[in-house]
Chain A
């Protein structure tokens, strides 16, 4: 049931854009995105619900393709502070616990 994230790692220069993908083999109710810095707990970024509702940060956008059970996180004009590991967490219908992907390690360099 673990969602598959891609890419596993990406290196960007400041100002460049990145896309992180998350796909599931199950029909999803929602997709949650988190960013975790080394030694810290994950920080909430974005939620995408079945039906199109979203809640998240202004500078980060995401999409949820319900037919393909895929979500993509879009990071534009990256900053050094964007560095970290990004996890998607998928929720099945029925208020189930989140199941997290293996993460995408993003490094932004000057």
Chain B
């Protein structure tokens, strides 16, 4: 099956710093990737849709300037949390559309961000 990786798997940072999270599709090309945020015991909330070669599409209520998304190639999308604060602490998960007949989404292992 299609494999999606994320790096780092966890990160702890000080308030005010920026953190970059990478999402890679390892064995397929993904023109579209998605970024989700999940708080403990809650559902996955879509933050943005990342499109290769164009600007990301953000969901309502998600700050574009705070969560910078760059889809530089068909196998890599990055999410940068700028000027992170403790309320940004969460589990960030990316997924990629493999472009198959069934339009499955394959999820990365997630990145746990803790902002002190």
Task: Verify that A and B bind, or say they do not.
Answer: yes
**CB under 8 Å from chain B, chain A span 8-44:** 30, 32, 34, 39-44
Identity of the chain A residue whose Cβ is nearest the Cβ of B112 in the assembled complex: A39
Nearest CB of A to B94, in Å: 9
Judged by a CB distance under 8 angstroms, whether A81 is at the interface is no
Separation of A42 and B102 alpha carbons in the complex (Å): 17
Please determine whether A102 and B110 come into contact, CB atoms closer than 8 angstroms: no
Q: Which residues of B contact A102 (CB under 8 A)?
A: 42-43
CA distance A53 to B102 in the complex (A): 9
**B-contact bits for A89-109, CB 8 A (1 contact / 0 none):** 101000101111111000000
Q: Which residue from B1, B43, B108, B110 sits with its C-beta under 8 Å from A87?
A: B43
CB–CB A42/B43 < 8 A:
no
Task: Tell whether, in the assembled complex, residue B107 and residue A42 are in contact, meaning their CB atoms are under 8 Å apart.
Answer: yes
* Min CB gap A46→B, angstroms: 10
Q: How many cross-chain pairs have Cβ atoms below 8 Å apart between A and B?
A: 51
For residue B45, which residues in chain A have a CB less than 8 angstroms away from its CB? 100
Whether a CB of chain B sits under 8 angstroms from the CB of A49 is yes
Evaluate contact between A97 and B43: CB separation under 8 angstroms. Answer: no
Nearest 7 interchain pairs by C-beta: A41-B107, A41-B110, A100-B44, A102-B43, A47-B102, A41-B109, A100-B43
5 more CB-based (< 8 A) A-B contacts, given A41-B93, A98-B105: A30-B103, A42-B107, A98-B46, A102-B42, A103-B43
Residues of A bordering B, CB below 8 Å: 2, 30, 32, 34, 39-44, 47, 49, 53, 55, 87, 89, 91, 95, 97-103
Subset of 22 A-B contacts with CB under 8 Å: A2-B43, A30-B102, A30-B103, A34-B107, A40-B109, A42-B44, A42-B93, A42-B107, A43-B107, A44-B104, A44-B105, A47-B104, A55-B102, A87-B43, A89-B105, A91-B103, A97-B34, A97-B49, A99-B46, A100-B46, A102-B43, A103-B42
Q: Which residues of B contact A (CB under 8 A)?
A: 1, 34, 42-46, 49, 93, 102-110, 112
